[in-house]
Structure 1
Amino acid sequence: MQFLMSGWLSTYTWRCDPVDYSNSPEALRMVRVAWLFLFSKFIELMDTVIFILRKKDGQVTFLHVFHHSVLPWSWWWGVKIAPGGMGSFHAMINSSVHVVMYLYYGLSALGPVAQPYLWWKKHMTAIQLIQFVLVSLHISQYYFMPSCSYQYPVIIHLIWMYGTIFFVLFSNFWYHSYTKGKRLPRVLQQNGAPGTAKVKAN
């Protein structure tokens, strides 16, 4: 919501939007929101550190480590030189996705009483995949607008690269977690689902 109020619902065109380095209220608000988003990435990195310290090897995958390790440092650099503009679109989308994710984690922390309401776990991965498609499509506009005056093309390239890499990694996660049946409900794994092997839940 703060990203929307900092420009995306007012002055931004959703196409080529350079970084606003003025002292306007919206520009300063975008800077503050960008720093808060950066702080959230370091909190997510601590998730990985905690998993490692607690020896939760099943949760410390390459996807998890890469995802949580590379973004804090990339965003620190991005916030320092280009807080806002079209490069902040992916942060706005990512923040929205994380609201859904943490809602799920909050419900799952309630234990068995919340299990009937957690049927949509698979759809979280689908939402993340849609996120990367939207981010890549939005940022790709830059390559078809020769007159775009965004100040740091390298950030555009990095966002497009990360969007593509994460789409591939999350697609691989989807395939191994759901298509191959590794995360089928326990009752199906015990009885055997058509065309799937009987495997233990992760």
Structure 2
Amino acid sequence: MTTEVGTWVVKFYEDLMKHADPRINAYPMMQGPGLMTAILVGYVMFVLYLGPRLMANRKPFDLKGIMVVYNFAMVAFSAFIVYEFLMSGWATDYTWRCDPVDVSDSPQALRMVRVAWFFFFSKFIELLDTVFFVLRKKNSQITFLHIFHHSVMPWTWWWGVKFGPGGMGSFHAMVNSIVHVIMYFYYGLSAAGPQFQKYLWWKKYMTAIQLVQFVLVSLHATQYYFMDKCDYQIPLFVHLVWMYGTFFFVLFSNFWYQAYTKGKRLPKTQEKDGRQKGVIANGKHVENGHTYLENGTTQNGKIKAN
């Protein structure tokens, strides 16, 4: 029985790979899902087990300089990805409706294949977000949502790039990259020091920008269900994008409510208790009287040291 199941799995995989886009084979990690899956499994193990054990008896690392460089490098990389998506179709010959994957070897089609891989690769660079949390012992920032997003997103996008690099399914990647330009710019300023804290009054609106992203992604995918005809080659990807946008809209809406609506209505006594216990108050992490931003700096820009 085990042999038969194994044979069926191998045959199913081989048949599936016959439909993969041959233009992507030359790119790193695209020959098969094994390497990228191993990296993501290693990431989860490091974040949940190996990293905390490594840091248990150590002081947090001061990574301020590294984080400034990293965040602004991600701003530049994300902006480049947005530009390439636009030039590869979204600002040229795409209709913003039922846009199929261009499977030709034209320069523009190959450009779309390249930027789709760049976006996929950027998800692996972003794993450093969590690694920095672990090394700086900011464990309160490592939530289920954070780990789920950083591990599942690269894994699902491998299949998207492998079978459909471009077309209608790439819209959410372009929008996500636009959001990351803004997000990493904020994180870069936040890590740069207290002199930039006065420019970070718009932290609350980062969540609003995320919510707008998910609305746009879901609406763009929703139109597929109301078209008289759409010959998009891989409808499954459209369904997954719609579910992704809707699922994360619900999760981030709940965060908005808990942090910026319900949090503002906390009685003064509860806010005082929150400062002592390190809970969320008014959308910010509060511990021992210090208010912490998402990147771990205090309201006045100082890094907490144990």
TM-score (norm 1): 0.89
Secondary structure of 1:19 counterpart: coil
Instruction: Provide the secondary structure at the position in 2 that maps to 1:58.
Output: helix
Candidates 250, 262, 268, aligned match of 1:168 = 250
Partner in structure 2 of residue 101 of structure 1: 183
Structure-2 residue corresponding to 1:60 = 142
Higher relative contact order, structure no. (Cα contacts within 8 Å, ≥ 6 residues apart): 1
Provide the C-alpha distance between the structure 1 equivalents of 2:231 and 2:155, rounded to a whole number of angstroms.
25
Alignment of 1:16 with 2:98, yes or no, is: yes
Asked whether 1:126 is paired with 2:208, we answer yes
1 CA distance for matches of 2:258 and 2:147? Answer: 18
Equivalent residue in structure 2 for 1:4, among 56, 80, 86: 86
Return 98-107 or 62-71, whichever deviates more.
62-71
Higher radius of gyration, 1 or 2? 2
In 2, Cα distance between equivalents of 1:116 and 1:181: 22
Q: CA deviation at 1:54?
A: 4.6
1 CA distance for matches of 2:195 and 2:132? 26
3-state DSSP of counterpart to 1:12: coil
Could you say which residue in structure 2 is the equivalent of 1:148?
A: 230
Helix, strand or coil for the counterpart of 1:120?
Answer: helix
2:298 is matched with which residue?
none
Identical-residue share of aligned pairs (%): 72
**Unpaired segments of 5 or more residues in structure 1?**
none
Corresponding residue number in structure 1 for 2:278: none
After TM superposition, the structure 1 stretch with the greater mean CA deviation from structure 2, 137-146 or 78-87, is 137-146
Contact 1:41–1:71, Cα closer than 8 Å, also in 2: yes
1:78 equivalenced with 2:134 (yes/no): no
Are 2:199 and 1:117 aligned? yes
Instruction: Name the stretch that deviates more: 40-49 or 69-78.
Output: 40-49
Query: Could you tell me how far apart the structure 1 residues matched to 2:118 and 2:224 are?
Result: 26
Cα deviation, residue 48, structure 1 = 2.2
TM-superposed CA distance for 1:145, in Å, is 1.4
Q: Distance in 2 between the 1:50 and 1:76 partners?
A: 24
Q: What is the letter of the counterpart of residue 119 of structure 2?
A: F
Moved more, 105-114 or 55-64: 55-64
Return the alpha-carbon distance in structure 2 between the equivalents of residues 132 and 102 of structure 1.
18
Q: Does 1:178 align with 2:260?
A: yes
Three-state SS of the structure 2 residue aligned to 1:10 is coil
Displacement of 1:62: 1.4
Aligned to 1:41: 123
Runs of 4+ displaced beyond 3 Å: 52-55, 196-199
Alpha-carbon distance, 1:51 to partner:
2.5
Q: Which residue of 2 aligns with 1:30?
A: 112
Letter of the 2:167 partner, please give it. Answer: G
